[in-house]
Amino acid sequence: MKRIFRYILAGGIILTLQNCFLGKSKTVDPKSVAAPPVSFYSLSLKSLDGKTDLKFSDFKGKKVLIVNTASKCGYTPQYEGLQKLNDKYKDKLVILGCPCNQFAMQEPGDSSKIGEFCRSNYGVTFFMSEKLNVKGSDQHAVYRWLTSKSENGSMDATVSWNFNKFLVDAEGKLTHYFPSNIEPENAELISAIEK
């Protein structure tokens, strides 16, 4: 009986790890999505230092890539790829990094430590928000919109680990979700940006 329990437990752990790290991208044709029930442009984020409100209405006409980030994660080197995307596509793409400490406590620092880490190790110049929750009862409104079809009109999604990526098109429609294992310079992500 113990052996059967161990196999069941091991199978559950493997399935959970596959879902977290090897999840599948989701794509929705923006032509098939009507105006979202909640406008993307009604949302906002506070800056990492908490002093500035970033209004998403300022992004009209640009694509927006929103990524939940962490400084002590195996995916942390993706900051480098995100910065490269920012440099290459800055005229048509806004990148928003959203520090989160909900996955294995991999973002324990305060805002000044997070900002210093990102600048000194990866030269990050794209917008970084204050630390926020991407799931659970205290889920930030931006992530509630990103993960709930009833708000975004496009898809339901689950933030399964650090560095999940959501792409919103230039009209404020959620069109793509990319799990952690899809790196910023992945051909599928680049194609979605360039479309």
Residue 20 annotated among the catalytic residues of the structure: no
Q: Write the secondary structure of the chain as one string of H (helix), E (strand) and C (coil).
A: CHHHHHHHHHHHHHHHHHHHHCCCCEECCHHHCCCCCCCHHHCEEEECCCCCEEEHHHHCCCEEEEEEECCCCCCCCHHHHHHHHHHHHCCCEEEEEEECCCCCCCCCCCHHHHHHHHHHHHCCCCEEECCCCCCCCCCCHHHHHHHCHHHHCCCCCCCCCCCCEEEECCCCCEEEEECCCCCCCCHHHHHHHHC
Catalytic residue among 73, 98, 100, 118: 73
Please list the active-site residues: 73
